[in-house]
Amino acid sequence: MRFYTRQHRYHCGVDLHARTMYVVIVDQAGVVLVERNMKTEGQAFLQLVAPYREDLVVAVECIFTWYWLADLCAKEGIAFVLGHALYMKAIHGGKAKNDKIDAHKIAALLRGGLLPQAYVYPPAMRSTRDVLRRRLHLVRKRAELLSHIINTNSQCNLPDFGGRINYKVHRTDIAQRFDDPSVRKSIEVDLELIEHYDALIQHLELYIVRTAKSQSCASQRNGSDVRRKARQPLRLIGHPLCLRPDLCRAVVGPPGDSAPHPNLQITDAHDVPSR
């Protein structure tokens, strides 16, 4: 857990929602200077914080709406801190909760150097990470279908499939083993959806690899560490490809390289281990 400990003259806590946000600004002594519930409009926010821009830091909880505010602060040269939602116990564990209290607590944690930080992902790569997260959603849906087939087979006390059905070669004639027409139809629907997910996920993975290759993923590690990572075989399925910029180059090679990385193995297994 990393805390933001740098001191500023003014500390701004924002309880951010999709259409509205509650803004609280306190000084070094903890005196509340601003309390305002407002719409999520960039120009209105800049006008509100204008008198305190000299040494201001803005903090917001890490939820899905933080992108625009982080980009706005970066453009205007305002210090921005993204709070780690899971570790911000002062907000999640409070008995009394409303937008005003939450915003004030964010500002207080920021002022006291106790705001746990989350990583502010680079704007150029956020969309790639979002596509990866969408792929993970599809893989989990596919795994649910496979689990339903396995559970139905156990429910009917039928023999094992003789192989892992996440591989297409082991999914032949599965539906025919069920005598009940309704059960057989249910399994056929599962199998058709799995076939669709296979094609969709494979297409998405190829897009992710090509997109990641075209992005500049400058490594923050020393060269020997990256080369050691590059020598290790990597499978795209089940691995968070390019979620960490320092390993992107090791996985997909240097920017502009159109050839696939020699150690990158793309399979159609889409195997997600159960937990």
Instruction: Answer whether residue 260 shows pLDDT above 90.
Output: no
Q: Are residues 50 and 183 in the same domain?
A: no
Pairwise CA distance, residues 67 & 63, whole Å: 9
For residue 101, the number of C-alpha atoms closer than 13 Å in the C-beta half-sphere is 9
Q: Are residues 57 and 171 in the same domain?
A: no
Q: What is the dihedral of CA 248, 250, 255, 256, to 10 degrees?
A: -130
Least confident range from 63-67, 182-186, 270-274: namely: 270-274
Average pLDDT over residues 22-36: 95
The pLDDT score that the predictor gives to residue 66 is: 94
The pLDDT score that the predictor gives to residue 91 is: 64
User: Which sign, positive or negative, has the C-alpha torsion 187, 188, 192, 195?
Assistant: positive
Average pLDDT over residues 127-150: 94
The pLDDT score that the predictor gives to residue 96 is: 75
Least confident range from 47-56, 77-86, 149-158, 266-275: namely: 266-275
Q: Are residues 192 and 259 in the same domain?
A: yes
pLDDT band of 273, cuts 50, 70, 90: very low
Instruction: Answer whether residue 242 shows pLDDT above 80.
Output: no
Average pLDDT over residues 62-77: 93
Average pLDDT over residues 30-48: 95
Written as one letter, the residue type at 36 is R
Least confident range from 74-78, 148-152, 185-189, 246-250: namely: 246-250
Written as one letter, the residue type at 8 is H
Residue at a domain's end among 116, 138, 171: 116
Structural domain that includes position 66? 3-116
Instruction: Answer whether residue 99 shows pLDDT above 70.
Output: yes
Q: Are residues 243 and 129 in the same domain?
A: yes
The pLDDT score that the predictor gives to residue 109 is: 92
Total domain count, the chain? 2
Pairwise CA distance, residues 94 & 126, whole Å: 31
Give strand pairing partners of 75: none
Instruction: Answer whether residue 112 shows pLDDT above 50.
Output: yes
Better pLDDT: 173 or 52: 52
Q: Are residues 98 and 195 in the same domain?
A: no
Which residues does 113 contact at the CB level (< 8 Å), separation at least 6?
3, 4, 5, 7
Residue at a domain's end among 57, 88, 116: 116
CATH code of the domain in which 22 resides: 3.30.420.40
The pLDDT score that the predictor gives to residue 219 is: 34
The pLDDT score that the predictor gives to residue 251 is: 39
Q: Are residues 160 and 70 in the same domain?
A: no
Residue at a domain's end among 116, 147, 164: 116
Instruction: Answer whether residue 257 shows pLDDT above 80.
Output: no
Give the DSSP letter of residue 125: H
Pairwise CA distance, residues 119 & 245, whole Å: 12
Q: Measuring CA to CA, which residue among 91, 116, 86, 103 is closest to residue 4?
A: 116
Pairwise CA distance, residues 237 & 224, whole Å: 26
Do the Cβ atoms of 3 and 114 come closer than 8 Å? yes
What six digits make up the tokens of 115? 């705001």
Which residues does 56 contact at the CB level (< 8 Å), separation at least 6?
8, 9, 10, 11, 12, 25, 49, 78, 79
Pairwise CA distance, residues 181 & 77, whole Å: 65
The pLDDT score that the predictor gives to residue 221 is: 39
Please provide the DSSP assignment of 199-214 as one string: HHHHHHHHHHHHHHHH
The pLDDT score that the predictor gives to residue 80 is: 96
The pLDDT > 90 percentage for the chain reads: 55
pTM score:
0.68
Please provide the DSSP assignment of 66-93 as one string: -HHHHHHHHHHT-EEEEE-TTT-HHHHT
Backbone phi and psi for residue 40, each to the nearest 5 degrees, phi listed first: -85, 75
Instruction: Answer whether residue 236 shows pLDDT above 50.
Output: no
pLDDT band of 90, cuts 50, 70, 90: low
In a domain, 272, yes or no: no
Give strand pairing partners of 81: 59
Q: What is the pLDDT of residues 181-221, one digit of tens each?
A: 999 999 999 999 999 999 999 999 999 888 877 764 443 33
Better pLDDT: 201 or 230: 201
